[in-house]
């Protein structure tokens, strides 16, 4: 169905290990992303039993040569020198009809040389969460890994309790992380570090190959992608939950969803992850953490830069300082789109900051607020103004902001700007309680709610009756306050 290649295994063997998936008892297909497979150049998919065998790891697809990747990483600020794919194997790479190379990886496929005593398996819940959220993010225009398939294993995975097991097939621009560079740098293998950097330039950033200082240019290119990625996250209220350096893709995609969640009632310091007790990766901390992670990447690249050590540090530091300007520029553009203002609006970021203060003070749901704002922009009448005001506990404070926003918005009103606003403000996100409902039903053997929610979140800007129902904020009794990783 897909033609596999293996360019990564041409890198030094310290960066990977040959590793076969561990067969499972009775694989059964939950979902297969036919559209994605066809876009990658695949033919019409085979029957479900064959797909289940391929994407459980029982019989990997023809041409696949599975390997597990090595990397290190800072986890919640603490450096761990040996991590790696402890429950995943890279089946290989596929070059799509446009010439873009992507990885195809099994996640939850059994022990590897990097499992560190773990079972290498994944519970069903986190697999369903990643499938739903990654596909929703792609539909909202956020750079992300994609889900190609999900398979149940017929086996139990023991975490706090025994849970059904599953395997996710993930597609990524690559699985090279900041932690991959940390692993090479830690071993002080200059040849391996250079080979890795050259591979990344060739695969992801060919435009920097001819730069005067290509490795500094590589750093700056990665920095720009990461700054813009985090701005896009925050535009849809996404909270990653585990922004460790081993979860930061060099390609600039959202990687490793784990205990991720979407903001509901706005709180700039909101954190859902059960392991983020100190709120290191809270919503508004994400740009700061991205810059911190990039500083670790810069440290790895120092031996490849020109000049003496002092000059190298000065060069990298100067580049790192550009993160804030890059992020601010991206956020200003996102703010303008979300508020329906002119692209070059000088008031967009200020208006957004004022609205965020109102959302926090008035306990407003973020997605519902921007959806109501979009409807008001489309049809500015008393009914839609009231629909926005009922979302806050402090309507008397929000009303002046609406007046000022309407004055600014009407000055730039056009069909093009309204369409940009609509596509910056989803009607539906994978709300935490809806995802939990899906998981609970699946644990009882019912996957219909999963497919129903998936069908809605991959059309996030469609305001159907069903989408509106699934988009409704959680009641007090439905709220999910903690999300879990599943490792």
What is the H or E stretch that residue 17 is in?
Answer: strand 16-18
Q: Which tokens in the block code for residue 312?
A: 């190298």
Task: Report d(CA 429, CA 2) in Å as an integer.
Answer: 31
Distances from the Cα of 5 to the Cα of 63, 64, 102, angstroms: 8, 8, 10
Q: Which of 85, 103, 119, 246 is catalytic?
A: 246
Q: Is 107 helix (H, G, I), strand (E, B) or coil?
A: strand
Q: Which tokens in the block code for residue 352?
A: 């957004």
Q: Which residues lie closer than 8 Å to 409 by C-beta, 6 or more apart? A: 339, 340, 341, 377
Task: Report d(CA 92, CA 99) in Å as an integer.
Answer: 16
Task: Report d(CA 433, CA 431) in Å as an integer.
Answer: 6
Determine phi and psi for 467, rounding to 5 degrees.
Answer: -65, -40
444: number of Cβ within 10 Å: 7
Task: Report d(CA 213, CA 306) in Å as an integer.
Answer: 7
Task: Report d(CA 62, CA 59) in Å as an integer.
Answer: 9
Helices 366-378 + 395-411 axis angle, to 10: 50
Task: Report d(CA 228, CA 134) in Å as an integer.
Answer: 17
Of the candidates 279, 200, 270, 219, the residue with the CA atom closest to the CA atom of residue 243? 279
Residue with tokens 């120092």: 302
What is the H or E stretch that residue 225 is in?
Answer: helix 214-235
Q: 246 catalytic, yes or no? A: yes
Strands 101-107 and 73-75: unpaired
Strands 67-69 and 16-18: antiparallel
Give the rounded distance of the alpha carbon of 396 from its chain centre.
37
Q: What is the CA radius of gyration of the chain?
A: 23
Query: Which residues have a catalytic role annotated?
Result: 246
């Amino acid at each position: 169905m897909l033609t596999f290649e293996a360019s990564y295994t041409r890198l030094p063997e310290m960066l990977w290990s040959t590793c076969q998936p561990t067969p499972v008892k009775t694989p059964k297909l939950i979902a297969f992303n036919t559209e994605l497979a066809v876009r990658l150049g695949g033919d019409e998919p085979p029957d479900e039993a064959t797909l289940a065998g391929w994407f459980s790891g029982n019989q990997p697809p023809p041409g696949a040569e599975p390997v597990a990747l090595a990397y290190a990483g800072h986890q919640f600020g603490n450096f761990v020198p040996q991590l790696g794919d402890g429950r995943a194997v890279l089946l290989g790479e596929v070059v799509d009809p446009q010439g873009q190379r992507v990885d195809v990886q099994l996640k939850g496929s059994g022990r590897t040389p990097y499992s560190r005593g773990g079972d290498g398996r994944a519970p069903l819940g986190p697999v369903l969460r990643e499938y739903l959220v990654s596909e929703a993010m792609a539909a909202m225009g956020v750079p992300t890994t994609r889900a190609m398939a999900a398979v149940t294993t017929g086996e139990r995975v023991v975490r706090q309790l025994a849970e059904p097991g599953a395997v996710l097939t993930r597609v990524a621009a690559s699985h090279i992380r900041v932690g991959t560079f940390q692993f090479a740098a830690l071993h002080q293998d200059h040849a391996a570090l250079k080979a890795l950097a050259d591979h990344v330039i060739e695969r992801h950033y060919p435009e920097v190959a001819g730069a005067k200082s290509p490795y500094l240019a590589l750093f700056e290119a990665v920095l720009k992608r990461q700054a813009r990625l985090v701005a896009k996250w925050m535009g849809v209220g996404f909270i990653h939950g585990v922004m460790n350096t081993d979860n930061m893709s060099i390609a600039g995609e959202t990687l490793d969803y784990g205990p991720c969640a979407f903001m509901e009632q706005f709180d700039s310091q909101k954190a859902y992850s059960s392991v983020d007790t100190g709120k290191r990766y809270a919503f508004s901390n994400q740009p700061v953490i991205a810059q911190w992670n990039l500083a670790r990447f810069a440290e790895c690249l120092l031996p490849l830069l020109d000049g003496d050590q002092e000059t190298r540090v000065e060069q990298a530091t100067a580049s790192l300082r550009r993160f804030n300007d890059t992020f601010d520029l991206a956020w200003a553009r996102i703010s303008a789109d979300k508020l329906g203002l002119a692209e070059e609006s000088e008031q967009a970021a200020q208006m957004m900051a004022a609205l965020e203060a109102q959302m926090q003070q008035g306990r407003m749901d973020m997605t519902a607020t921007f959806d109501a704002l979009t409807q008001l922009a489309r049809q500015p009448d008393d009914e839609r103004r009231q629909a926005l005001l009922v979302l806050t506990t402090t309507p008397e404070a929000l009303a002046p902001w609406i007046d000022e926003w309407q004055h600014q918005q009407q000055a730039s009103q056009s069909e093009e700007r309204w369409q940009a606003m609509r596509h910056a403000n989803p009607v539906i996100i994978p709300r935490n309680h809806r995802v939990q409902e899906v998981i609970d039903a699946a644990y009882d053997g019912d996957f219909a709610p999963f497919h129903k929610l998936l069908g809605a979140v991959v059309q996030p800007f469609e305001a159907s009756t069903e989408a509106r129902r699934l988009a409704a904020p959680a009641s007090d009794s439905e709220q999910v306050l903690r999300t879990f990783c599943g490792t």
